Amino acid sequence: MTVPRTKRPAVIVGAGAAGLAALHAMQQAGFEVIAFEQGTELGGVWATTKYPSLAMHSKSFSYRFHDFPPLASREPNATGEEVRTYFSAYARAKQVADKIVYGRRVDRIVYRPARSSSRCLVFATDVRTNEPSQHECDVVVCASGFSNSGRPHVPALEGRATSRVRVLHSGELSPEMFDDIVAHRRKVVVLGAGKSAHEILSLFRGTESVADLTWVYVKSLWSTSYEKLYSDPVREPWNAALYFYYMGVQALRRRLGWGRAMKLLQAPLIRTGFLVNPLETESDVCRNRGAIMKADQLAFLKTVRSIRSGVVGLGEQTVLLERGDAIDADYLICATGYDRSANLPALAIETAAGLTDHPLAAQHGFYHHMIDPAVPEVSVFAVAILYSQHVLGLSLAAQWLARFHQGRLVTQPSTAEMTRWIEQRAREFDPWCSGEYLSNGGPYGHQRDKDVLPELFEQMGLDRGLARSLVLKGTDEQGFAKVCDLVARNLVAGKNAAGS
């Protein structure tokens, strides 16, 4: 006698913020869930990045799952350790901590559309023993950092094999390494000009080692002024207006391109100090923006010796620059981001003629930045562009994703509708997904698709206005908490109504 299966199995790839949100939402929706995490702890990029100054740039209250209390921190901005503690508390509270298998890498997925169940076959490997395993399931959610993090990227450098310069990714800089650098006055080159570079360089503030630093960059990220962003809306209402003005400029930038008119439109954002940049004053603020910066950090970074150039190789004890310089160095710290598609499993589609490769990272786009219409049961959880606070965006998108896989959206999209949506978004974001903007099929995280979250809300039976309220209240601690609580209650009420 065959015992009927009561719960549909789902495999989650990764146990960072995205994986935890997916685990909870899918389990809440009645799936039998398991997550495979190739590392040894949960937390994603927060677990693999350990440099001493790792911290949030925004205030802690806004870094939260929609149905879980906000992150509590000793200071207004949580440290990396506090973020990891928050994730662990969430996993325990939502009863998904025991659903995570560590040291298990997902290598390949075979999608079998002709089957009525178990359409996905997942091939995994135990990274400690190299033992392979196979897992049948109905749904796979790839929450491995696509479009936001992924595998740390260090550029290939000629001469590295024979050089005595120690090369490491910014996420590998440990407290012990930092202490060695300061104690022995090691010469350090920091490559990159984004959030991680800002934090690495700021570690040396107040030490004699500042004189031993060289900051090398090709393009410098613009940041939102922390003081402007969190100013009193009663005394300084224009700062909130500037934020929405920036969103409007960003939308126009995708249509108008870069020229005199766009420079004039961006000028108020720079002149008012709403957007700041320690290295550049006239570059395109829509081309590179992805951090929040405090005034004291900005002032310090302006004092660091900087060179605009690429790095092309290493000498015996030097870093070789594209412009021809050779800089003496003991360390080259690469704050050069992540290969966003590197951790995506290989994917093949089973047909009568055999298996056809279907690499997810090579696809034109995804419906709501999550669903490939050709393989709808294999989701790509790339929702950094859904909402400015990633964890909240992940949490809310996971609720939509669970309902999509249940077939329980208010209006379930057809394959044709999803394909048209992707084509429309591809036209809009095309300038930001090619050439120097290439981000493996998705626009850079700061090029957020502001229309997606309201669409997700509407398809879940929620008021679209709630999505806008989350943005409007994003810097108001009490107001933001009230909207999150309201969204959580409405989602539960909708779930109960659907189940009655």
pLDDT digits (tens, 9 = 90+) for 215-274: 999 988 899 999 988 887 766 777 778 888 888 888 788 778 889 999 999 999 999 999
- List the 104-111 sheet strands across, edge first: 132-137, 120-126, 104-111, 346-351, 354-357
Q: At 90, list the tokens.
A: 């969430």
Least confident of 73-82, 289-298, 442-451: 442-451
Does 333 have pLDDT greater than 80?
yes
In DSSP notation, 93-157 reads: HTT-GGGEEESEEEEEEEE-TTSSS--EEEEEEETTT--EEEEEESEEEE-S-TTT--EEP----
Return d(Cα 301, Cα 82) in angstroms, integer: 26
Q: What is the rounded CA–CA span in Å between residue 298 and residue 296? A: 5
Which residues make Cβ contacts (< 8 Å) with residue 402, sequence separation at least 6?
Answer: 22, 25, 26, 28, 29, 31
The pairing of strands 151-152 and 338-339 is: antiparallel
Where exactly are the structural domains of the chain? 9-150+340-499, 154-221+288-336
Structural contact between residues 121 and 277, judged by C-beta atoms closer than 8 angstroms:
no
pLDDT at 439 over 70: no
User: Hey, how many other C-beta atoms are within 10 angstroms of the C-beta on 162?
Assistant: 8
**Which residues contact residue 18 at a Cβ distance below 8 angstroms, ignoring those fewer than 6 apart?**
44, 143, 145, 381, 383, 394, 398
Tokens of 138: 């109905």
54 Cβ contact list (under 8 Å, min separation 6)? 46, 79, 80, 199
pLDDT mean over 351-355: 94
On whether the CB atoms of residues 10 and 140 are closer than 8 A, the answer is yes
Q: Cα dist. 490→57, 452, 482 in Å?
A: 30, 19, 12
Fold: same for 9-150+340-499 and 154-221+288-336:
yes
Q: Yes or no: say if 51 and 200 are a contact pair by the CB < 8 Å rule.
A: yes
Confidence of residue 433 (pLDDT cuts 50, 70, 90): low
pLDDT at 338 over 90: no
Tokens of 110: 């075979």
Which secondary-structure segment (H or E) carries 306?
strand 306-308
Per-residue pLDDT at 344: 84
pTM across the whole model: 0.85
- Token pair in block for residue 122: 């997942």
Residue predicted with more confidence, 426 or 204 = 204
CA distance 173 to 167: 10
Half-sphere exposure of 228 (CA within 13 A, CB side): 20
Residue 177 has a CB neighbour count (10 Å cut-off) of 18
Q: Average pLDDT for residues 290-317, to the nearest whole number?
A: 94
Tell whether domain 154-221+288-336 is in CATH 3.50.50.60: yes
Backbone angles phi, psi at 237, to 5 degrees: -65, -20
Beta partners for 351? 354
**Residue holding tokens 């990227």?**
153
**163-173 pLDDT per residue, tens:** 999 999 998 99
Instruction: Look at residue 390 in the predicted model and tell me its pLDDT.
Output: 76
Alpha-carbon torsion (103, 108, 438, 333), positive or negative:
positive
Residues with Cβ within 8 Å of 246's Cβ and at least 6 positions away in sequence, in order, are 269, 274, 275, 285
d(CA 68, CA 125): 33
Kindly list the strands in the beta sheet with 331-334, ordered across the sheet, starting from the edge strand earlier in the chain: 166-169, 331-334, 188-191, 213-217, 306-308
Judged by DSSP in three states, 225 sits in: strand
Domain 9-150+340-499, CATH: 3.50.50.60
